[in-house]
């Protein structure tokens, strides 16, 4: 198949905001790519209002990944500038014609998002304020990028064949930069 489009998002955060920021970003991303009917809500984060919705499975997946990421980051030296990468893939189920596998369909990734996470710290209170500002700005830019990208690049979205549930399985993977791929598939 063709290479699915890969979109990169840069996320800047600090230790405290790590899970909140990432969760916000991921939720926003899924908000744009999760095609089941959902009731939107908003959630404020760092002076931004992000859309959110309730999806138990998604939340569970996200939480699991973030926990792993946090563990990973804490294991590593807590120096400023830690990086990690999250990878979100959207699949579509394509019926497989092949015989002997027995599987009727296969999952084909039609879109991939890479979230580069950078964790920064600060050394003084003054620095903290500037760091926070940077985080906010970056979050704003990232969310904006999600919105524009998702709304503009929609021609490659596969047709929705089912009306119930999520037609597109997704996978959230944690990929420590340059390290082993601790891929955990959250295939649902």
Binding-site ranges for other proteins (CB under 8 A): 28, 31-32, 35-40, 42, 44, 47-51, 140, 143-144, 146-148, 150-152, 154, 157, 159-160
Whether residue 86 contacts residue 173, with contact meaning beta carbons closer than 8 Å, is answered with yes
Output the smallest distance, CB 13 to other proteins, in A: 18
Q: List the strands of the sheet with 105-120, edge to edge.
A: 6-14, 105-120, 82-95, 170-175
Pick the closer one to other proteins by CB: 74 or 130.
Answer: 130
* CB of 38 or CB of 120, closer to other proteins: 38
How far apart are CB 151 and other proteins at their closest, in Å? 4
Taking the least distance from each CB to other proteins, the nearer of 6 and 160 is: 160
Q: In angstroms, what is the minimal distance from the CB of 174 to other proteins?
A: 25
Instruction: Report the alpha-carbon distance of residue 173 to residue 142 in Å, rounded.
Output: 19
Give the CA radius of gyration of the chain: 17
Phi, psi of 39 (to 5 degrees): -100, 115
47 vs 125 by CB, closer to other proteins: 47
> What's the closest the beta carbon of residue 179 comes to other proteins, in angstroms?
32
Question: How far does the chain reach from its first CA to its final CA, in angstroms?
Answer: 22
């Amino acid at each position: 198949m063709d290479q699915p489009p890969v979109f990169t998002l840069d996320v800047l955060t600090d230790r405290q905001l790590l899970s909140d920021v990432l969760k916000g970003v991921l939720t926003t991303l899924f908000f744009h790519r999760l095609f089941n009917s959902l009731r939107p809500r908003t959630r404020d984060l760092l002076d931004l209002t992000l859309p959110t919705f309730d999806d138990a499975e998604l939340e569970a997946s996200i939480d699991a990944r973030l926990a792993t990421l946090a563990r990973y980051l804490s294991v590593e030296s807590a120096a400023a500038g830690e990086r990690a990468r999250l990878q979100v893939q959207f699949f579509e189920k394509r019926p497989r014609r092949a015989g002997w596998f027995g599987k009727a369909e296969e999952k084909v990734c039609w879109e991939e998002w890479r979230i580069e996470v950078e964790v920064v710290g600060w050394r003084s209170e003054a620095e903290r304020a500037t760091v926070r500002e940077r985080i906010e700005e970056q979050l704003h830019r990232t969310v904006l990028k999600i919105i524009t990208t998702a709304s503009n690049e929609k021609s490659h979205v596969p047709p929705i064949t089912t009306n119930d549930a999520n037609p597109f399985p997704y996978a959230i993977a944690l990929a420590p930069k340059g390290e082993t791929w601790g891929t955990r598939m959250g295939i649902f």
